Amino acid sequence: MRKQMFWAVALVLSLAGLMAGTADLTAAPPAGQVEQHEAGVSLQSVTVPAAADAETWSCWPDNYGSGPSLALAYGVGPTSEYAAFSLVRFDLASALPPDAIIDSATIQLYLSIVEPGSTLPIQAGAFFVTSSWNEGTVTWNTRPSSENIGTGTQIVSGGGWHNWNATSFATAWQADPAHNYGVELRGPLSVALYCVRFVSREGGGNGPRLIVNYHMPTATPTPTRPTATPTRSPTNTPTPTRTTGPSATPTRRPTNTPTPTRTSGPSATPTSGPTATPTPPTDCRNLLSNGDFEADDLWPWLLAGPASLGTGRWGSQGIWLGGTTNSRAELYRGMTIDGVLSPVTLRFWWRAEVAQAQPGDLLSLYFEHSGEGDVILTLPATAPLKTWQQVEVDLTSFAGERVWFSFMAENNESVPTSFRIDDVEVLGCGHFINFPMILTGADLSPPA
């Protein structure tokens, strides 16, 4: 199902392996404690408190860098989905001797609140941040960039310390302190609703901490005789080069999913045309986030096959699909359409780029809801070519449902067509209210 693919791509946990369950690390060696390492090397431990942290909310575009908690959340409100991610950074350079060799590192956060109605357990990842951010100004809309690689822990009810293996992260931060931007903590983006809060560094104790176990290089003894074989100096531990993990390819839809019927010849016509929509009332809002694809990342959109960001309708960012023979490319996402809205209209702009008409190359709109999937619109690569066109589709019948929809570009073995998509909107009309976020019946107040 789409929701399983969405969860899988939203949370790519490809480093080190997942740490199942939680563990209370109160028994971890305190800072400065010395243990015996193999070959007589002294293993030392240091606890590094967070130098900066902040939670960010998609539904509240404000800064919460001085708040008492670090939230992870996902839910569905009356008009849209929402999520919360959190950022943490540690000043490792000032805590370790310059020539220390890191043996292991663990990020610890103390879970203090599980909001009523949360569906647990969940898998939460710590992802390597790749650009700068400021605790006092960062918001959801200005979040730093981050890798889709991370390490994970399972969150359970009951609170206490939760742990993320951060050995590779700490080693990279030690090697390049100027680019130590910390980690972003993310939970899954799925239909399960949850909100959990960890204690922040401003939360009055039990703030985020990084526990690092390390040892110092062993001194090379001076030979006592000229003929003695010099003692080999220990080889410095190489600093692993941080690489971006491969983008996870979403699991293909089950084979029994309806696909567009390919037609050939100049007489080919769309399998179904855009549904005419009534003139919407004035009380209408766009329910879809990032439909212009101008955000720093594609979230919550996903891509599969030959697809990428490309030139948009106004020269800015849009989506490019296809461009190769015998291929299928997809742009897809999920959303919940509130049941009180009517009408609900999908609007988008598309463009077929090819030298001459290719009626066998198709751009289809596929909808999956209530476990069923349907192709509700098919657009062939015919005239007018190389021209942006707007399409409207009536989605009122989907009100009250969670749906997954995708734009699928299919190219046959002939001349390939590049399809472009931009400015996607889902316009919902009806009675809107200003609401606190709802989590399965419990009021979820804005961050303190």
Model confidence pLDDT, tens digit, residues 360-409: 999 999 988 777 788 999 999 999 999 999 999 999 988 888 888 899 99
Write down the pLDDT at residue 2. 40
Write down the pLDDT at residue 347. 95
pLDDT tens digits for range 233-252: 444 444 444 433 434 334 33
pTM: 0.47
pLDDT at 424 over 90: yes
Least confident segment among 193-202, 204-213, 315-324, 353-362: 315-324
Q: How many CB atoms lie within 10 A of CB 345?
A: 19
CA proximity to 2, closest of 421, 403, 338, 319: 403
- Return mean pLDDT, the chain: 76
pLDDT tens digits for range 40-89: 567 899 999 999 999 999 888 789 999 999 999 988 766 667 899 999 99
Give CA–CA dist 409/79, Å, rounded: 29
pLDDT at 30 over 80: no
Averaged pLDDT, 25-40 = 41
Confidence of residue 152 (pLDDT cuts 50, 70, 90): low
Enumerate long-range contacts of 29-33, CB under 8 Å, 24 or more apart. 29/213
pLDDT tens digits for range 289-328: 889 998 777 877 888 889 998 888 886 789 999 989 999 9
Q: What angle do CA 262, 398, 61 make, to 5 degrees?
A: 110
Confidence of residue 330 (pLDDT cuts 50, 70, 90): very high
Q: Say if CB 56 and CB 84 are below 8 A apart.
A: yes
Confidence of residue 352 (pLDDT cuts 50, 70, 90): very high
Least confident segment among 26-40, 73-87, 129-143, 338-352: 26-40
Phi, psi of 136 (to 5 degrees): -85, -5
Averaged pLDDT, 121-129 = 87
